[in-house]
Structure 1
Amino acid sequence: MEDIEDLLIGSGGGAPPGFRLPLNTVAVKPKKNVKNGAKLNGSLLSESSLFSTVPGTQSDSEYMAGQLSSFGYGLSDDPENADLWLINTCTVKNPSQSAMDTLITKGKNAQKPLVVAGCVPQGSRNLKELDGVSIVGVQQIDRVVEVVEETLKGHEVRLLTRKTLPALDLPKVRKNKFVEILPINVGCLGACTYCKTKHARGHLGSYTIDSLVGRVKTVIAEGVKEIWLSSEDTGAYGRDIGVNLPTLLNGIVAELPPDASTMLRIGMTNPPFILEHLGEIAEVLRHPCVYSFLHVPVQSGSDAVLSAMNREYTVSEFRTVVDTLTELVPEMHIATDIICGFPGETDEDFAQTVSLIEDYKLPQVHISQFYPRPGTPAARMKKVPSNIVKKRSRELTAVFEAFTPYNGMEGRIERVWITEIATDRVHLVGHTKSYVQVLIVAPETMLGSSAMVKITSVGRWSVFGEVIEILTQTDRRTSTKERLSREVKCAPCVDQDESCACSGDNAAAPCACGLEGCGEQQNGAGTDTASHNQQLLEDQNNTSLIGNFLSRRRKTPTRKLDDSRTASGDSPKQETSREEAPNEWGFVDRVFLGGLILSLFTFLALLVHLGFRIKLSK
């Protein structure tokens, strides 16, 4: 079947078989109320498969789920009751494609309409398993609703070619509402001989710094507590548009809350493109709002194997990256990847890999066996026998699992950011500044919080802790300390027409908040913020009766007839409530103030009289 952009294939809708019909001529009606409660299944694979940790894939899944949900479709966890199956795929390993083939066969047998997205159809569009299946390319995820609509009508749709990147502000359904997976670029500059991802995602395409920083501002306002930068190669960011990764990172860090309530995690970075920026990257990793963690794949400890892989760096350069970051960043943790049994790998090559892993004892090493990907140069190379590949994989795994990277942490007190529920449904999962996984027993209301945690015991993969103090909590009321800070940053206005400049704003804004300051207007916090500020003022003015009285008067709403209703002939009994100007005083107010003034003069007169009598008595 020929792959043509915006092409419908099939006999549905009156089009004869093979008739080419541009998709943009098909009317697609919004389905805010889906007929018969139609549901689209969003989790045919296991949860880890739908929201894969492969760069780009998880973010794509969240964006597609968000668009379908906002259009009115439900996302079902039950494949049997779903009206359509949407399968997002990864092409990094052969087992992922095998799982896709199995799902497609199962879906066809169940007579379910199928849409396949991701790297597999993009990189291998002519697979026979994809016959009769609609396809969404990796850069066409913003059109998933159109593809689903047409597939449900019986059409087969293929959208694979595009010259622009999808927008970052598309609707999204996050797997974890506290974690934003932010793609900073697609594609890469490498040409690894074993990799199929480059075939699927193409050459490097970077989002602009302004668009990424704007997205960061948005998600922080939405309550996100972790931002993960996603990319096939984070270090290559911006080389196609004349900027670089440190510039982007500094722009993002400047927008993170100073209390470190939202943390940044930098994505996977290949050695070649980070070497020239090691000092600047280290400075960012030291920042309190950035995890001191980086994923730097090495793939092999042998230069000969790295050359065959076309990785464009040496083992010595990888060591330079690890040594420099470890020296410059306190408690720095680095993860890496290893491929066992790459074509041509000798026993000596493998021994060098084992030696490298033993030297660094990294806390995270992702070990995989080599799988030839069709169409790649490595697929044509002479393979290492499968029994040797498996043996090497087991041996390296045993070496790695013998490490005890978290020994010495017991008894330490660490700040931990808590964002997940553990698979045992008992513990919550948090991470230290170094991204060490911490398991704690705590209520789910602590999700999205950070806390000081005492490490009580250590395991091979995680540590366990108990909460000592909660530092930030998503559902808390503003603390006294924060309210005092806000009061300092945003001084109260003396009158209604004064301008007050709030922290973070370059220009003064008209004040509409009276003595309680401009926090309500600037932050949009409404009654809740006003009550916090009002309480702060009452605390500060508790020795001043007049100060408290004036503060309350400025907040007291009055009832006034709506002149427009009276003029139009409506009954004058209809009223609207609105805030009166703070200098409009009622009768009781004037009497109260007059009494205060009279009392003051009387007191002064008594003092004068008493002094005069004392003088006469002498």
Structure 2
Amino acid sequence: MKRVYVTFLGCKVNQYEAEYMIEKLEQNGFVISPHPSKADLCVLNTCMVTSEASRKSRQMLRRLRKLNPEALIIATGCYAHLQQQDLLKIGADLVLGNDEKKDLIDHIKRYLRKEEMKSVNVSESVRGVEEKVQSFLSDRTRAYIKVEDGCNEFCSYCIVPFARGYRIRSKVIGTILNEARTLLDNGYKEIVLTGINLGKYGFDQKTSLAILLKSMLEELSGDFRIRLSSLNVQDIDDELIEIFSQSDRICPHLHIPMQSGSNNILSRMNRKYTIEDAYKIFDRLREINSDFSITTDIIVGFPGETIGDFKQTIDMISKVEFSRVHIFRYSSRPGTPASRFDLQIPSDEKERRSKELSKIVEEVSKIYREKSIGKLRKVLVEQTRSGISSGYDEYYVKHEFTGGCIGNFEMVVPKRVNGVGMVSALVNLEGSMAKEA
């Protein structure tokens, strides 16, 4: 019997794959350890989407080696896929690519038989989406289903197609339905569909994300909701938008990574849409539901971004009233076209723009949330402490309120803004409200 510690950095796909590896390890007789110092093996699912993610991946690997010098340390994920020797030098024993992580058990067994020592196993990411997960150690109420892998967009700043492969690979609809049924039977109330390029789901199978959603709504029963993760503007079509108007089981929330509010910068980024395209999508979503929640990512300091370009991004954020904005300072990724662009922005100017934008984003998010005061919201309770429950509503806004039970949907009325969320009051079955938190 071997004790194993598994951790991850980065996106929801990495989280899903970490949970998949945990389940496979448990099925093969390994015991999951809550701390790396108590483990015989440590598995790190790395990220490389930004320079900060790369730094954290290296930092975590060094930490694991320091905490447990005798452990077998396995690095996998995007950083491991592209920078194998770096990870071997700083403490990894095995380095597995994104496809190879699916065969984690076989690699561990070969290592323990001394058939693999200080080994690198990386191949082009071409395998289909085969993983299935039954439960999540990190979340008791919300479950993720990875339905797609690969990205064929080739944005000029992005290294993901090199780490994940440029071929779109989609999980079969029947397999997704079976996985979702198992998760719902195990008590999960929210299913989050995720992928490296989710909007391209079905591109390789002559189907689509809209068809998948229709199948889930028709075939799955019970008290649950579906949330979509990140979608690009160009992948949000009429059929997909219509689904939001047809079922309240689809959360009225989308994460649409705009990256910039300037058409000039979007073109340099090789994004496949214009600001005008995005506005049309936003308008249609909010025609369906005026409170439709749109979250986004913004890159500041992209090469060639002028003050005028930056001002256009500020204007876009204020106009759209995003419910949440994630700000990233541009970081050069090795081998990408943008790393060779001229007009690179100095670090101190990127920092200045990031701070300026953060203040604006905070105010815009507050304005969005204030509009929900007095309206009814459906919250999935994730935790309770000292009588205070917290969880996210269908719009992906966090609420705190007294009463409620973990794993239940609770109806609340928002009373006031609190930090990045809301202080709310629970509505009981008779329609009266409990005191706010």
Q: Tell whether the 8 Å contact from 2:88 to 2:94 is kept in structure 1 after alignment.
A: no
Equivalent in 74, 83, 94 of residue 124 of structure 1: 83
Whether 1:80 and 2:68 are equivalent positions in the alignment is no
Distance 1:145 1:130, change over 3 A: farther
Gaps (5+ residues) in structure 2? Answer: 431-437
- Secondary structure in 2 matching 1:455: strand
In structure 2, the partner of 1:400 is: 361
In structure 2, the partner of 1:558 is: none
Quote how far apart the aligned CAs of 1:282 are.
3.6
Q: Tell whether the 8 Å contact from 1:113 to 1:152 is kept in structure 2 after alignment.
A: no
Q: Tell whether the 8 Å contact from 2:126 to 2:165 is kept in structure 1 after alignment.
A: no
- Secondary structure in 2 matching 1:219: helix
Whether 1:385 and 2:349 are equivalent positions in the alignment is no
Q: Tell whether the 8 Å contact from 2:75 to 2:94 is kept in structure 1 after alignment.
A: yes
- The structure carrying a bigger strand percent of its residues is 2
Q: How do residues 82-101 of structure 1 correspond to structure 2 at under 5 angstroms?
A: 82-101=39-58
- Secondary structure in 2 matching 1:402: helix
Quote how far apart the aligned CAs of 1:330 are.
4.5
Q: How do residues 535-574 of structure 1 correspond to structure 2 at under 5 angstroms?
A: none
- Secondary structure in 2 matching 1:101: helix
Equivalent in 120, 132, 146 of residue 158 of structure 1: 120
In structure 2, the partner of 1:458 is: 417
Quote how far apart the aligned CAs of 1:153 are.
4.9
In structure 1, the partner of 2:138 is: 175
Distance 1:327 1:223, change over 3 A: same
Whether 1:436 and 2:397 are equivalent positions in the alignment is yes
- Secondary structure in 1 matching 2:42: strand
Q: How do residues 197-216 of structure 1 correspond to structure 2 at under 5 angstroms?
A: 197-203=160-166, 204-216=168-180
Structure ranking higher on relative contact order (CA contacts 8 Å, 6+ apart) = 2
Q: Output one character per residue of 1:550-592: Cα deviation in whole Å (capped at 9) or x when no partner.
A: xxxxxxxxxxxxxxxxxxxxxxxxxxxxxxxxxxxxxxxxxxx
Q: Tell whether the 8 Å contact from 1:39 to 1:73 is kept in structure 2 after alignment.
A: yes
Q: Tell whether the 8 Å contact from 1:104 to 1:129 is kept in structure 2 after alignment.
A: no
In structure 2, the partner of 1:306 is: 266
The one-letter amino acid paired with 2:40 is D
Cα distance in 1 for residues equivalent to 2:120 and 2:418: 48
Cα distance in 2 for residues equivalent to 1:377 and 1:218: 43
Q: Tell whether the 8 Å contact from 2:209 to 2:240 is kept in structure 1 after alignment.
A: no
Distance 1:454 1:325, change over 3 A: closer
Equivalent in 228, 235, 251 of residue 273 of structure 1: 235
In structure 1, the partner of 2:213 is: 249
- Secondary structure in 1 matching 2:84: coil
Quote how far apart the aligned CAs of 1:293 are.
0.3
Whether 1:373 and 2:333 are equivalent positions in the alignment is yes
Number of residue equivalences: 420
The one-letter amino acid paired with 2:426 is V
- Deviating more after overlay: 63-72 vs 109-118: 109-118
Cα distance in 1 for residues equivalent to 2:89 and 2:163: 15
- Deviating more after overlay: 283-292 vs 130-139: 130-139
Cα distance in 2 for residues equivalent to 1:285 and 1:126: 50
- Secondary structure in 1 matching 2:427: strand
Quote how far apart the aligned CAs of 1:372 are.
0.7
Quote how far apart the aligned CAs of 1:378 are.
1.4
In structure 1, the partner of 2:434 is: none
Quote how far apart the aligned CAs of 1:319 are.
1.2
- Secondary structure in 2 matching 1:42: strand
- The normalised TM-score by structure 2 is 0.89
Quote how far apart the aligned CAs of 1:151 are.
3.6
Q: Output one character per residue of 1:507-540: Cα deviation in whole Å (capped at 9) or x when no partner.
A: xxxxxxxxxxxxxxxxxxxxxxxxxxxxxxxxxx
The one-letter amino acid paired with 1:243 is T
Quote how far apart the aligned CAs of 1:172 are.
5.2
Quote how far apart the aligned CAs of 1:297 are.
0.7
Distance 1:436 1:393, change over 3 A: same
- Secondary structure in 2 matching 1:344: coil
Cα distance in 1 for residues equivalent to 2:257 and 2:233: 8
In structure 2, the partner of 1:449 is: 408
Q: Output one character per residue of 1:210-257: Cα deviation in whole Å (capped at 9) or x when no partner.
A: 222222222222222110001122211111221111111111122343
Cα distance in 2 for residues equivalent to 1:391 and 1:286: 44
In structure 1, the partner of 2:435 is: none
Cα distance in 2 for residues equivalent to 1:263 and 1:97: 34
Q: Tell whether the 8 Å contact from 2:87 to 2:95 is kept in structure 1 after alignment.
A: no
In structure 2, the partner of 1:146 is: 106
Q: Output one character per residue of 1:64-121: Cα deviation in whole Å (capped at 9) or x when no partner.
A: 1111122222222222222122111111111121122223334445243210011111
Q: How do residues 208-357 of structure 1 correspond to structure 2 at under 5 angstroms?
A: 208-257=172-221, 261-274=223-236, 277-284=237-244, 286-357=246-317
- Secondary structure in 1 matching 2:52: helix
Distance 1:315 1:278, change over 3 A: same
Quote how far apart the aligned CAs of 1:160 are.
2.7
In structure 2, the partner of 1:421 is: 383
The one-letter amino acid paired with 1:339 is I
The one-letter amino acid paired with 1:117 is T
Cα distance in 1 for residues equivalent to 2:300 and 2:126: 36
Distance 1:372 1:142, change over 3 A: same
Quote how far apart the aligned CAs of 1:370 are.
0.6
- Deviating more after overlay: 431-440 vs 151-160: 151-160
Cα distance in 1 for residues equivalent to 2:177 and 2:244: 16
- Deviating more after overlay: 104-113 vs 359-368: 104-113
Q: Tell whether the 8 Å contact from 2:135 to 2:186 is kept in structure 1 after alignment.
A: no
Distance 1:337 1:285, change over 3 A: farther
Quote how far apart the aligned CAs of 1:465 are.
1.9
Cα distance in 2 for residues equivalent to 1:358 and 1:89: 34
Cα distance in 1 for residues equivalent to 2:76 and 2:321: 38
Distance 1:174 1:83, change over 3 A: same
- The normalised TM-score by structure 1 is 0.64
Quote how far apart the aligned CAs of 1:460 are.
4.3
The one-letter amino acid paired with 1:39 is R
The one-letter amino acid paired with 1:396 is L
Over the aligned positions, Cα root-mean-square deviation in angstroms equals 2.3
Distance 1:89 1:241, change over 3 A: same
Cα distance in 2 for residues equivalent to 1:124 and 1:434: 38
Quote how far apart the aligned CAs of 1:174 are.
3.8
The one-letter amino acid paired with 1:468 is V
Cα distance in 1 for residues equivalent to 2:121 and 2:422: 46
Distance 1:194 1:221, change over 3 A: same
Cα distance in 1 for residues equivalent to 2:79 and 2:374: 47
Higher-Rg member (1/2): 1
- Secondary structure in 1 matching 2:188: coil
The one-letter amino acid paired with 2:258 is V
Whether 1:70 and 2:70 are equivalent positions in the alignment is no
